[in-house]
A and B are shown apart, each in its own frame.
Chain A
Amino acid sequence: VKRPPLELTTVRVREIAEGADTRWQGDGVLQIDPDALAALARAGGDEVTVSVEIVRPGDAVRLVHVLDAVEPSAKPEAPETTFPGITGEIAAAGIGRTVRLDGVAVLALADLDATHPEAMRERQLDGDGVIDMDGPAAFCTPWSGTVNVVLTFHANPEVELTAIDRAIRWGTLAVARTLALAAADAEPDEIDVIDLPAVSDTLPAVCVILQVASEGPLVDTYLYGRPMEGTVPTLLDPRELLDGALVNGAFDWAAIRNPTYFYQRSGLILGLLREHGTRLRFAGVVIALAYLSSATEKARAAMQSVVLAQQLGADAAIVTAFSSGNSHTDVMLAVRACERAGIRTVALLCETNGGLTDHVAEADAIISVGNEDELAPGWAPERVVGGRMLRAGWEASEGTALPFRSYLGANSQLGDTRLRAAVA
Chain B
Amino acid sequence: MRAVHYLNQFFAGLGGEEAAMSAPARLDGAVGPGRGLGLEIAATLACGDDYFALNEDAAVAQLLAWIAELAPDVLVCGPAFGSGRYGYACGVVAREAGRLGVPVVAGMYPENPGVLAAEGSAFIVPTSVGVSGMRDALARMGPLARRIGEGEQLGSAEDEGYLASHQRRNEVAAATGAERAIEMVLAKLAGETTTEVAPEPADVPPPAPVDASGVLFALVSEAGCVPQGNPDRLPHHRASTWLRYSLDGVRTLSAEGYETVHGGFDQTAANLDPNRLVPLDAVRALEDEGRIGRLHPFLYTTTGNGTATATAARLGQEIAHDLQQSGVEAVLLTGT
Contacts and interface: CB of A to CB of B under 8 A. Distances in A.
B238 to A, nearest CB: 7
Contacts of A355: 168, 197-198, 308-310
A98 interface: no
Looking at A352, A355, A359, A366, the one whose CB has the most chain B CB atoms below 10 A away is A355
A418 interface: yes
B200 A124 contact: no
Contacts of B233: none
Given A318-B185, A348-B177, A366-B195, A419 B309 contact: no
A363 B184 contact: no
A275 B179 CA distance: 11
B311 interface: yes
Contact of B169 (A271, A279, A414, A421): A421
B197 A368 contact: yes
B204 interface: no
Interface in B132-156: 156
Contact of B170 (A268, A356, A363, A370): A370
A421 B170 contact: yes
A286 B186 CA distance: 19
Given A366-B196, A418-B176, A357 B188 contact: no
A345 B166 CA distance: 26
Contacts of B182: 206, 268, 271-272, 275, 280, 318
Contacts of B164: 423
B197 A356 contact: yes
Looking at B181, B185, B307, the one whose CB has the most chain A CB atoms below 10 A away is B181
A230 interface: no
B308 A364 contact: no
Contact of B237 (A325, A354, A422): A325
Contacts of B54: none
Interface in B173-201: 173-182, 184-186, 188-189, 193-198, 200-201
Given A357-B306, A416-B176, 15 more contacts: A204-B189, A206-B182, A268-B181, A351-B197, A353-B168, A353-B308, A354-B168, A355-B198, A363-B200, A368-B197, A370-B170, A418-B173, A420-B172, A420-B180, A421-B170
Interface of B: 120, 156-157, 164-182, 184-186, 188-189, 193-198, 200-201, 237-238, 240, 263-264, 305-311
Nearest first, the 6 closest Cβ-Cβ pairs linking A and B are A415-B178, A354-B308, A415-B177, A325-B306, A267-B178, A268-B178
